[in-house]
Structure 1
Amino acid sequence: MLRFLTAGESHGRALVVIVEGLPAGLEVTVADIQEELARRRLGYGRGPRMRFEVDEVTLQSGVRHGRTLGSPVAVQVANTEWDRNPDKWQREMSVAAEDGPTRIPLTQPRPGHADLAGMQKYGFVDSRDVLERASARETAARVVAGTLAKLWLATLGVDIVSHVVRIGAVAASPGPPPALADLERIDADEVRCGDPVASAAMVAEIKDAAKEGDSLGGIVEIVAHGVPVGLGSHVHWDRKLDALLAGALMSIQAVKAVEIGDGWDVAGRRGSAAHDPITWDAEAQVYRRTSTRAGGLEGGMTSGEPVIARVAMKPLASLNRPVLGTVDVLTKAETVSFKERTDVTAVPAMGVVAETMVALVLADEVARKFGGDTVAETRRNRDGYLAALRDGPLG
Structure 2
Amino acid sequence: MTLRLSSAGESHGPALVAIVSGLPAGLTLDREAIDADLRRRQEGYGRSPRQQIETDRVEVLAGLRQGRTLGTPLALVVRNVDHKNWTWGMSPWPPEGEPSGKGTKPVTLPRPGHADLAGVLKYGHADVRDALERASARHTAVHVAAGAVAKALLTTIGITVTGSVVDEEGLRANVDAARVERDTVGGVVEVRARGVPPGLGSYATKED
- Once the two structures are superposed, the pairs formed by residues 204-219 of structure 1 within 5 Å of their partners are 204-219=173-188
CA distance in 1, matches of 2:131, 2:185: 23
CA distance in 2, matches of 1:57, 1:151: 15
Runs of at least 4 residues off by over 4 Å: 99-102
- Once the two structures are superposed, the pairs formed by residues 58-207 of structure 1 within 5 Å of their partners are 58-83=59-84, 85=85, 89-99=86-96, 102=99, 103-165=104-166, 172=167, 193=168, 199=169, 201-207=170-176
Q: AA paired with 1:51?
A: Q
Conservation of the 8 A alpha-carbon contact between 1:160 and 1:225: yes
Unpaired segments ≥5 residues, structure 1: 166-171, 173-192, 194-198, 240-364, 369-395
CA distance in 2, matches of 1:8, 1:213: 27
Give the structure 2 partner of residue 20 of structure 1: 21
Q: How many positions carry a matched residue from both structures? A: 203
CA distance in 2, matches of 1:238, 1:141: 26
Conservation of the 8 A alpha-carbon contact between 1:56 and 1:80: no
1:195-221 deviation per Cα after TM superposition (whole angstroms, max 9, x unaligned): xxxx2x433332233222222211111
Give the structure 2 partner of residue 10 of structure 1: 11
- Once the two structures are superposed, the pairs formed by residues 1-395 of structure 1 within 5 Å of their partners are 1-83=2-84, 85=85, 89-99=86-96, 102=99, 103-165=104-166, 172=167, 193=168, 199=169, 201-234=170-203, 237-239=204-206
The TM-score normalised by the length of structure 2 is: 0.89
CA distance in 2, matches of 1:105, 1:229: 52
Q: Which SS does the other structure have where 1:218 is aligned?
A: coil
CA distance in 1, matches of 2:58, 2:90: 20
CA distance in 1, matches of 2:182, 2:106: 24
CA displacement at 1:232 relative to structure 2? 2.2
Q: AA paired with 2:114?
A: H
Q: AA paired with 2:36?
A: E
Conservation of the 8 A alpha-carbon contact between 1:56 and 1:79: no
Conservation of the 8 A alpha-carbon contact between 1:164 and 1:221: yes
1:264-300 deviation per Cα after TM superposition (whole angstroms, max 9, x unaligned): xxxxxxxxxxxxxxxxxxxxxxxxxxxxxxxxxxxxx
Q: Which structure is higher in helix share?
A: 1
The sequence identity of aligned pairs, in percent, is 50
Q: Which has the larger radius of gyration?
A: 1
Conservation of the 8 A alpha-carbon contact between 1:30 and 1:59: no
CA distance in 2, matches of 1:15, 1:81: 12
Q: RMSD across aligned C-alpha pairs, in angstroms?
A: 2.0
Conservation of the 8 A alpha-carbon contact between 2:14 and 2:83: yes
CA distance in 2, matches of 1:121, 1:72: 30
CA displacement at 1:136 relative to structure 2? 2.1
CA distance in 2, matches of 1:100, 1:217: 43
Structure 2 CA distance for partners of 1:213 and 1:100, relative to 1, 3 Å = farther
CA displacement at 1:99 relative to structure 2? 4.6
Q: Which SS does the other structure have where 2:200 is aligned?
A: coil
CA distance in 2, matches of 1:117, 1:64: 41
CA distance in 1, matches of 2:109, 2:117: 9
CA distance in 2, matches of 1:209, 1:153: 37
CA distance in 2, matches of 1:117, 1:43: 27
Conservation of the 8 A alpha-carbon contact between 2:42 and 2:51: yes
Q: Which SS does the other structure have where 1:26 is aligned?
A: strand
Conservation of the 8 A alpha-carbon contact between 2:62 and 2:75: yes
1:304-353 deviation per Cα after TM superposition (whole angstroms, max 9, x unaligned): xxxxxxxxxxxxxxxxxxxxxxxxxxxxxxxxxxxxxxxxxxxxxxxxxx
CA distance in 1, matches of 2:115, 2:93: 25
Give the structure 2 partner of residue 274 of structure 1: none
1:224-260 deviation per Cα after TM superposition (whole angstroms, max 9, x unaligned): 11100001224xx423xxxxxxxxxxxxxxxxxxxxx
Conservation of the 8 A alpha-carbon contact between 2:38 and 2:57: no
CA distance in 1, matches of 2:191, 2:73: 28
Conservation of the 8 A alpha-carbon contact between 2:61 and 2:77: yes
